[in-house]
Structures are given as structure tokens and as C-alpha cells.
A and B are shown apart, each in its own frame.
Chain A
């Protein structure tokens, strides 16, 4: 591609043709502020914060939508630029509630930071502050349109990255809100609660439903036995809110912090990930033997499950019946483990630390109570855990490293890689290959399914039989694989789908910011954590073996099916709109009604 040289603030910058000024400036070490810009996803120039002076242009130009040109001279810090940015931000602030101290994004808010950066000490315009009710219709994502600045990043992510289209602009001008259709709450929409909108919201208009109070209450109740599980991707992100660099592995510190918070046992979802591999790997081998239904698709990611139930119910039989590791953990904890230690499961509280908002929805699904109780009581995102650690006054960065409790804290490297895209596939391949061939793998690193390519495909040789596999993350990528299944063209045997870009390390419950660079750091940390584990294959997990020997019997046993497997529900694609009539029937009725239609207007 051709290169273009331009001058930004007196510096010569050479970038590829087509680059926007904002990116060229970043390459030159100049940060142009913006509220709406999201590289490759939301490039609409709507907030007008990124304006710059371009020589010979009549007006200030939005740097996020103005491509570079040869010889262009750009100035990013002039009196006119400063005055314009200030005016714009003052106008945004004029109808923004001044609730910073009580806002979930306090001290981590792009608007707050920008007002500070621009030195705004007074807002000249008394705007009308709307009082819209806060949307609490889902157990996972809260929408407070009073704080919304209409940047449309959430709309762009929901549409382009996830292809869910749950929200969009409603109305026009000052009355515009970002909302689901028909003025309904997210709970009635197609929202899959992935929380990607939360990660990109510059302010506190979209955030996780906070369950920290409920968890504090359980921890303070002497009659409750409170256990906690930590998802694979949490350990490589929890350090960030405490100033540790992205990609720090904080497993031991997190365990230590959880003990200090008062949890009776600190366990690892990685254990249940190993268990998932045993069940799902066996399911795959069984389906290969029986001849279908194939491809088998993973079921760990609750956003993907709701997406499938809404948009692709026809592939439900392809989706593994395995519960996600979080839910397997809950079901095992309140049966096997409760019995083992002599605790009444009625008094046991299972808390999950998750990189995910959709897990909050998953644990409240009506079918997730096979232990006789709600298997997982509360899900906290990494952000909420960080909040609790701060509330407790724990100096996270200087905590000693501690180990998980036995037996549900015992895991392998195969469990930890569940946190990155391709990880479930790699873990499954490690186990399925060895069980199928009966031989030990020479090389267990399966690099071809790693990394941030949207769709990754590979073939695995199983004693002469070729296993064709594919991995997708981000639901726009998943659609490519799903459409090939519904059209009958899919040649794959096994497909991993993760809702969030990068997999769980990029989940909607992770610390903010979560961007591509940070995702890559966390992925690198996940594979490092895997390499550091003495055991790296799920079927070698001694605690999982013991669980089968003493309780479940074998994978896919009757008890496994009862506790570890689930079913799916077809969901309406248009919120609460229920179409009671089958389309074909419907057309017949309309045809019969033609004669009355002909003469009746507005009937």
C-alpha cells in the first residue's frame, strides 16, 4: 500500500494511505482525544471531540474520519481546537448527571477524564437533565440512558462485532436515546448479555449488575458456608485494576485476596473446565462413532448459547449438551462436595468470579438447579471482585501467593486455556487424541487454534481418521461457521464458539479498558500459565478422576447427565413478540381475507 507523509504538530509522519489523522497522530505519539471513536468499529465522527486544524480546510476536521493526504499539515493543539473541544464537552456535560462519586465508572470514565484533561471547571450551559428509569430488566447488564452521551459505540459493537442488534438509536435530536425497540428493556430484547457494550461505553450508561452486596451479606452470615470459584480468564486480568500491567498472572494473589475476603473455600473453575473436557470429549467421540449430529459445537459461553437459542435454534442439536464449567462446578459443589465435607447444601453459597456478564444470566436460568438448589448463587465480574478487594482495604499488588483449596481447586493447564479463544478446542484435542488413540501426544501445544484470527480451522489426525475442527470468537465470526452448517456445507466435526473477541480474556466482565493490545497480553499470560502447570491434560487431573471414581462413575453416565448436562430453549427473535401462527398458516389466512381487505381502508 502506498505511503503518505504529512506533518502533525510540526512532526513528519509517514503512514499508509487511507489512515485517519487520529491514528497517524497516535503513531507519532500525539494523543487526540475522542469519545465516540473505536478503531475499525465505530468510525463516525459524531462526538466532535477529536477536531483538529488542517491547513487550507475551511473548518476544523474530525480526526477520526479524515484520512491523511500527502503534504497535509495538521495542528492538534491550537486555541481554536482547544476552544472547540471545550465547548463540545461542556455541551455534553450540560445534560449529563453530575453523579460521579456514586457512578460505577467513577475514576475510570472517559468523559470525566476528558473534562479534566480539557481543564473544564465550569459548564456554561444549564441543560435539561432527563430522568429516565434505569433499565434493570436483565440480571447482567444495566442500562442508564441518563448518562448516555450517544457516542454509539455500544450500537456499533452490538451490530458489527456481535451481530445481535439489540439496541439502536431511538427518536431524534435531543430526545434520542440508545435503546431496544418499542421502549422495552434489554431483558425483552435479543440482548445476549455479553457485556461487550459495557467494555466500550465511555461513561456509566452501561454497566454490570452489581451483586457485591449480596455476596458481602453471605460472607457475613455465620450460618452460610460460602465457596468461590474463579474462571480461567480472571487470573490474567484481576491485577489490572490494582496497577499491575496487563498480562500479569495473579492467580496466587487472587486466591489470597479471596481468603482474606472471608470465603470458606477458594476453588477453581479450571477444575470444572477439566471436567467439561471429559464430558464434552466423550460426547464428541460418541457422536463420531454414531455418525452425528456433527459438527459438535461447544457450549461453555452463555452469550453464545442465548445467541444460538435466538438466531440459530436449528443448530441446537449440534450444540454440546454439556453445561458450562461454571454450572458444572455449582452442581458438583452442592452435591458431591457438600456431601464429602458434611455441609447441608441449603446452607452452601456458591459464588463465581467471572470475566463475563452473561454468566449472571446463566446462573439464573431455571434449568440450572440440578443439585436441588440454584447451583451457582452469585456471579461477580472481575470488576466487582476488584471493588470488593478495594472495599476490604487489601493491598492486592503486595499480597503473598497462595494455593487453591482441594479438591475442587485442582486443575491442569488444559483448564486454564479455556480463557482464550481456541483454548477449549486445544484442551479437547489434547484429551480426545490420547483417549482415542491410546497413545501419549508428543507435542501438546496446538498453536494453530491460538491467536486473534476471527475463524481458525485445522485438521487433527486420529490414527488415520481426520478430525476437522474450527474455532470462532466474536459472534460475527461465529455466524460464518453457523451459516455453513445450516446450508449443509460444513465439513467440520468439532467447532468452538466463544462470544467475546479473544475469548473470555476479552469478556464483558473484564477490567476496563479491554482493547486488542490488552487482549493479546492476557492471551500470552494464559498460555504462560498453562506452561507453568505440572499437569496439562484434563484426563490427568487427579481430582476429576476421583470425582468419577467415587461419584459420577464415568463420563456421560446417568448421574453425569443429570448434573452436568442441560437443554436449550428456543427464544423469540423480536423480544416479547410471540408469533402464534406458523407462517404458512398465516399466509393462507391472509389470502382468505383478501376480499374484505379490498374495500376496507384503515380497518
Chain B
């Protein structure tokens, strides 16, 4: 009840293709998961205004939409960061020090697993086994894989992506 007391509708922010996709399933309550999946893929999360659209157009209640979003861990209520750090806490990684690596990540970024930094750059996610136990402890940053990470390596890894983001944004500004 804390942060969610005021919501401003942001209809114009809904992408047209999303609107069209939802419209294709008008009145079809059975398509709820499929539609939410599309939105999740497209935006990386399901914003509140889209939840309302989905509810109205599919003819289901908002509580059902919200129930489904909170039931499946695939769906997110908030946007994810530019870099999603998935840190494995599977057995092999765990015994080779993954908890320490996670703790350092959380400390360096000032957020908890599952959260996103305020600047929108990083999201930490805990995963169970990435199938690369030979590289344990392992983590991925978007599509890059980092093997045999130790907590000491964390600051430099973070700096690398921060620099990359800065370079990209200055390039865009330069254009």
C-alpha cells in the first residue's frame, strides 16, 4: 500500500503493436497468459496501464490479471535494468562461493536480489544452475558469461558495464 497509492494513466505510452496484439484476443479470457507473455517479451515487464488494458479488452478482472502476474515468476511488475545480472546459486556454484559473490554484488550495487538499481542500469537475479558448472561460480550479464567469478572481481565487472553504458549514451548524444 506504500508506493502504489497514485497511478497516472500513461495510455500513449502503450506501444501500438501491443495494443493490437491485445485487441486480437478481445473477449478471450483464456488468452491471458499468452497476452501477458507477449507484453513481457516486448517491454521486459507488464506496466500497470497495460494490466488495465489487458483486463478491459480480454474481459477479465484486474485482480485476475494481477494474480497471474504475481503467480508466475516470468512476469515482472517493474522494468528490468539495462544489464540483467543472473547469478547462479545452484549446488556447484553454491559450494564454490556463489553466496559471497551475490552478497558483494548486492553491496556494490546497493540493491537486493530481484531489484533494479535506481539508474535503471542493473538488475540482480538469482538463478538455479546455468548449466555451466565447470565454470562455477558462474554469472551472466545479459548474454555475456562470466566464469569462476570471485567477489573481488565484482567491482571491475560492474565498472566495465557502467563504462559501456556511458560510452553508448555519449555516442547517441553525439549523433
Contact = CB atoms under 8 A, between A and B. Distances in A.
B161 interface: no
B90 interface: no
A578 B8 contact: yes
Describe A's contact surface by its main secondary structure: loop
Nearest to A593: B12
B168 interface: no
A184 B5 CA distance: 7
Given A171-B70, A579-B9, A593-B16, A181 B51 contact: yes
A602 B43 contact: yes
Interface stretch (B60-68, B98-106, B107-115): B60-68
B116 to A, nearest CB: 12
B62 A581 contact: no
B71 to A, nearest CB: 5
A594 interface: yes
A202 interface: no
B7 A577 contact: yes
* Central interface residue in B7, B48, B65, by most chain A CB within 10 Å: B7
A583 B49 CA distance: 13
Interface string B1-29: 10011111101101111010000000000
A458 interface: no
Contact of A166 (B6, B63, B71): B63
Interface string A575-588: 11111110100110
Contacts of B17: 597
A170 B51 CA distance: 14
Contacts of A184: 1, 4-5
Given A181-B51, A182-B48, A577-B7, A169 B61 contact: no
Contact of A180 (B14, B52, B63): B63
A434 to B, nearest CB: 45
A168 B61 contact: yes
Contact of B4 (A183, A594, A597): A183
Interface string A135-175: 10100000000000000000000010000011111111000
Interface in A81-113: none
Nearest to A576: B7
Nearest to B19: A590
B79 interface: yes
Given A581-B12, A590-B12, A181 B63 contact: yes
A55 interface: no
Contacts of B48: 182, 577
Interface residues of B, number: 32
Nearest to A602: B44
B64 A168 contact: yes
A570 interface: no
B4 to A, nearest CB: 5
A133 B5 CA distance: 15
Contacts of A575: 7, 62
A170 B4 contact: no
Contacts of B44: 602
A168 B49 contact: no
Nearest to B9: A579
Contacts of A159: 61
A2 interface: no
A167 B55 CA distance: 14
A594 B17 CA distance: 9
B62 A574 contact: yes
B15 A589 contact: no
A172 B73 CA distance: 9
A494 to B, nearest CB: 30
Interface in B133-157: none
Contacts of A171: 70-71
B16 A594 contact: yes
B80 to A, nearest CB: 8
A227 interface: no
A137 B15 CA distance: 34
Interface in B56-89: 56, 61-67, 70-71, 79
A20 interface: no
B14 A590 contact: yes
Contacts of B64: 165, 168
A159 B1 CA distance: 23
B52 A577 contact: yes
B9 A168 contact: no
A233 to B, nearest CB: 29
Given A184-B4, A577-B7, A589 B12 contact: yes
A185 B2 CA distance: 10
A488 B130 CA distance: 59
Contacts of B7: 182, 575-578
A575 B62 CA distance: 9
A539 B22 CA distance: 55
Contacts of A578: 7-9
Interface of A: 133, 135, 137, 159, 165-172, 180-185, 188-190, 573-581, 583, 586-587, 589-591, 593-594, 597, 602
5 contacts: A168-B61, A170-B70, A171-B70, A190-B61, A587-B19
Given A168-B61, A589-B11, A591-B16, 11 more contacts: A165-B61, A167-B63, A168-B67, A169-B71, A170-B66, A576-B7, A577-B52, A579-B9, A580-B8, A580-B9, A581-B9
Among all A-B residue pairs, the 7 with the closest Cβ atoms = A165-B61, A168-B63, A181-B66, A586-B11, A579-B9, A589-B12, A168-B67
